[in-house]
Structure formats: C-alpha cells, structure tokens
Chain A
C-alpha cells in the first residue's frame, strides 16, 4: 500500500517536472537547469558517500566530462548528443583506472587525493594550449538545440532523472546493503563476505559517469568552457553543502538541499544586489547548526515524534 502511493507521488512529480516548460518562462527554466545540475551532482556525490568515502573530486569529473564532450564535438566532429554519452563513458573509464589506486585510501586521504586529481585535470587542460584551448578555453560553433529553453531544460531533466533513477536503484538493491555495511564497519563487512573493493569501484565509476554526463550537458547547453569554469571549486563545494543541508544518505535529501540553496541564491540576489552572499553563507551556517541531520532528517525526526505522540494518545 505504502509503496504504491509513493509511486503515484513520484509519477505525479515527474509529470509536473516534465510539464514545467508549458507554464514557466525562459528565466525560471534557466534557473531550474542550474539547480538540477547541482542536484544531480549532489545526489551522485551522496551515492558514493553511502559507502563512507567522501569525494572532493566532483568538479574534476564534471570538468572532465565538459572537456571530453566539447573536444569530441570540436576536434572529432562528433554529434553533440552522442558526445554527452561519450563524455560520460570517458569519465567512467578514467574513474575505473584511477579507482584501482585511490579507492584503497580512506577518510581524509581519499578526499585530498580526489581534490588533487581535480587540480591535475585542470592544470593539464590549462596547459595543453593547442588541444584544449588553454586558459581561454573552447567555444563550440553552436549551442545544442539552438539554445531553445524547453529543449535545454528537458535535456538537463533527463540527466537528473537518470541520476535519481540510479540512486534509487542503489537504495533498493544489494548495493545499498553492501555500501552501508562498508560504511558502518569495514572489517565486519569484509568478514561477512562483501567484496568491498568491487562495490566501491562500481559506485565510484557509476557516480563518475553521472558527474561527467552532467558536465557534458552543461557544456553543450552553454556552448563554451574554460578550465576555470569547468573545474570551478563550487561544483564540489555546493553539491556537498546541498546534500548535507538536505540530509545525506538518501536521494530526497540532496534534492531538497539543492532546491533550498539554489532558490535561495537566486532569490537573495534579486532582493539584495550588493551583499547577498553574506546572507547565503549565514543560511548555510544556521541550517547546519539547527538541523544537523538536514531538512530531511528534521522531517524524519518530527514524524517519528508525532507518531510516538499519536501512539501514546491511543
């Protein structure tokens, strides 16, 4: 029963999301795209986090995807849509190769290494002047779908849906048990027969594919990229903040966090032209202080308390 009703909600929500272009103008659609991009990154980051591995390399894979897609179109004459698939696969292959070395690291050392890798990607793109355009970046001959707002929105939405779908699959499948077991107690997970490394590698590759794909969608939607745009540290820090503010170890948490921060940032900007980022920073501080489990965690707690209260009344 419970399962069914939540399926209905999901279906309704998806239809609403798909139908947005019918009643929203170009500006909200543009903002929505940016929020959805961060949302997908936040969810994909959270997927790896469920194993306890904290990646600081989101921007690295995002940027790698951006460049793979842009250069495939520019240097290889690839079809833009195909280049998104190519970029996702490229990010996956890179993650697979790197994963063998870096997934053996734990905690902060893993985080630092992913961060360092991101910087290395950036510097390489920065220095390969003839191939990657150097610091000035690359400009594509045209934007995908001729820049039509609804089409760009749906493309981004498709990327987001795919991410959500994979994340839910992670939640419902054997992956969930395995990753949670690794996070909670690696030694006992190992002894109970979970092949830790394989699961980590799968999770790392899949999340990297998703991040690379979002990077490719971004670059095709804006028609250009530079090392500083593609590997912007904000693509690492904001998804992290969003996931935490929404509530980690879930799909819905990062989504809620992305909506909160994404809307807050755009809204504050219009209300307070000079100095809106001060308020933005304070919002992050306050949410972390007063909702340590995130928005979603707070909701979960409130519901638990209410059902407890309801039970005692009966």
Chain B
C-alpha cells in the first residue's frame, strides 16, 4: 500500500514539475503587443544545430532592432531535437500546442525529420526546413504538403548540380578533363544516398564507381581499403562523402599510399577547425553552400558574417548558420507581405519569396520531384586555396579560378 502511494507521489511530483516547467517556458505576454513566435528545432549539441540556432537568433535580433514585423517583435523558441526522432517529434508538439508558435523553422538530420513529419502533417503549420536532404523525407511528405518549404537541396538536387558544375567547369577550363569518377562514401544513410544519387547522375556521362567506408564519426576511420580500391580504379575525380572527422586522416592516408587523383574532392557537411592550416589541405576541392570568401561577392553574406562574428566572436563553421539565418529572414519577409501570420496567406506569400541570401544566391521556391516548394537546388564547388575556401562554381558567385590538377605528393 505505502509502496504504491510512494510511487504515486513520485509520479505526481514529476508530472507537476514537468507541467510547471512547460508553462514557465511559454511565458505570458499581453495580447496586443504579442510577439510573432517562430518555433525551431535543431540538434543543439551538434555544431550544425548549435550555430544554426545562434544564427537564427542573430537574424531575429537584427529584425527586432529594425522595428520588428507588422509592428510586432519576433520571438524565437528553440527546442533541442537531440538528433532523435522521438525527441524531435515531441519538440514539434510542444512548439505547436504549448508555445502556440506561428510557424516552424529548423531541422538538420533526415532521421529526425522523418519522425517529425507525421506531427507536422497533423498541424499543417508552415515549416521552413533548413535540413533533411534525404529523398525519403520528400516521400514521407507527399505532394499535399504545400506548407513545407524546403530550403536545403535534396540529395538528388545536389547530385544534379555537381553534374552541371563539372560540365560547366570542363567547358570553361579546357585543361580540366574528367572521364572516371570514384566515390568513397560513408556507409550510413548520408553516404549511401550520395552514392545512389551520383550513380544515376554520373552514370551515363562518365565512368563511375564507388566503395563504402566506415566514418571516423562512428568509430571507423580506416580508409586503407577504400583508397586501395580507388587507386586501383585510377579516377580523374576522386570524391568522398563522409564527415569532418574523415577529412584530414583520409588525406594523410592517401598521401601515404601515394594516391594522387586529378581532383581530390570532399563533401562533408562541415570541415574540421583549422583544416585550411594543414599543408595537405591546399587545392583540395569541396562541395558546400557557403564559405566566408563569399563575403567578397555578396553583401548579404558580409552582413551576416560580420553580425555573427560581432555577436558570438566565433566564425560560422557550417553552412547551417547562413541557411538558418536565411530561414528567419524569409519568414519575416513573407509575414510582412502576407500582412498576417495566417497559414494560408503565409504559404501564398512564401511561395513568392525572392530573397538575396547570404549564400551568395537569390532564393525562390520552385517544385522539386514531389513537393511544391523547394528552395536552394544547387550546391557550390569550392576549393581550398591558401587556407581559404574559394568558390569555383557557379561562376556568378566565383571567387577564384580552379587550380588543376591536384598537386603530386611531395
């Protein structure tokens, strides 16, 4: 009897503490001057989500300092998705039902987005997604999800843009010749999706092969066998799709094995701190969406970069920072044009977005394979030159010409 009573007490205490916590977080504001609430989920323990949330807050502060939107202030409410589908789904439930946010932004991992989609569908609030590249997410959304505005390119968009990019580069720079492509991909969902997308897109035009490896991010980090396979294949373009933890060790291993492709290119979501300082980094190419060098060609990028440095005193390390910053500006701009936060009006206004983003390109929403509102469709091809990431392609935001071929190991 007492046993049971004790348990009841524990549960009751816990539940009430929890309920109080949830309420407290909501806060109360007078109805008239109520801020426009933007709910966001990111993995806050990861550098992508951490800096994404920081950049979004920066945008909110900038907009509020300039008078807010429709005479109201913006308020950003961020909940950690902990890189877990169930936590991410619960976060959306909280933002929508407890905090009563007007719209949602954020997101990074596809695995979390898949768990969030059923909840998002239930409420059909406007979502401006900064992550989730997997085509599975698009399948999960379906064609009906007109409230879903996907900023980040899908995996097949990225593949297509690389195919376009290499075509353009070879046309413009006659010395660049690509016939054989080899992709070393991390064995998880990210790498496998890259491989599938590349195989279809590169398959006809080039000879293409690939092999998986276990990323150092998950306890792997042994690249000997995959590099062995690549070396045997003898590619003009060697490409690896993994994580920042793989960047330098793989280069070191390639050097040790005297593997010397014409182009050595990496496509991780972010790069290690101070990668540019390593002597091996010179002339490594990369796929990405943003680099500090874009400040030179895009005023929006410079404004973002300077603001971020001034506010946080650290350099944005991944493109999730400018992407999340863009999400807030796109939302604010659409609310202004819609004249309200009503979902139907907001969807209409968002669909007409034309935003000169810090990514060095103008963002509009056009249909992709399934959904109606896809934002950025291309990635950029960049190259490490003298410790900096310089944009090679697209040429309109290029900051340098390519150095080709990748220099022989000394």
Contacts and interface: CB of A to CB of B under 8 A. Distances in A.
Interface of A: 2, 5-6, 9-10, 13, 25-31, 33-34, 37, 126, 134-137, 139, 143, 147-149, 218, 222-224, 226, 228-229, 232, 234, 252, 255-256, 259-260, 263, 266-267, 269-271, 273-274, 276-277, 295-296, 299-300, 303
A253 to B, nearest CB: 9
Contacts of B86: 30, 33-34, 37, 218, 222
Contact of A266 (B5, B90, B136): B90
Interface string B162-196: 00000000000000000000000001110111000
A269 to B, nearest CB: 5
22 contacts: A25-B93, A26-B96, A26-B97, A28-B19, A30-B90, A34-B87, A147-B118, A218-B86, A222-B89, A226-B111, A229-B85, A252-B7, A255-B7, A259-B10, A263-B14, A266-B18, A269-B82, A270-B22, A270-B25, A274-B44, A274-B50, A277-B45
A296 B53 CA distance: 40
Main secondary structure of the interface of A (DSSP, over half): helix
Contacts of B303: none
B98 interface: yes
A300 B6 CA distance: 10
Contacts of A6: 1, 3-4
B10 A260 contact: yes
Contact of B8 (A13, A37, A218, A276): A13
A273 B44 contact: yes
Interface residues of B, number: 56
A5 B7 contact: no
Main secondary structure of the interface of B (DSSP, over half): helix
Nearest to A263: B14
B118 A136 contact: no
B157 interface: no
B78 interface: yes
B93 A27 contact: yes
A165 to B, nearest CB: 16
Contacts of B84: 232, 234
A224 B115 CA distance: 7
A93 B22 CA distance: 43
Contacts of A148: 122
B11 to A, nearest CB: 5
Contacts of A10: 4
Contacts of A147: 118-119, 121-122
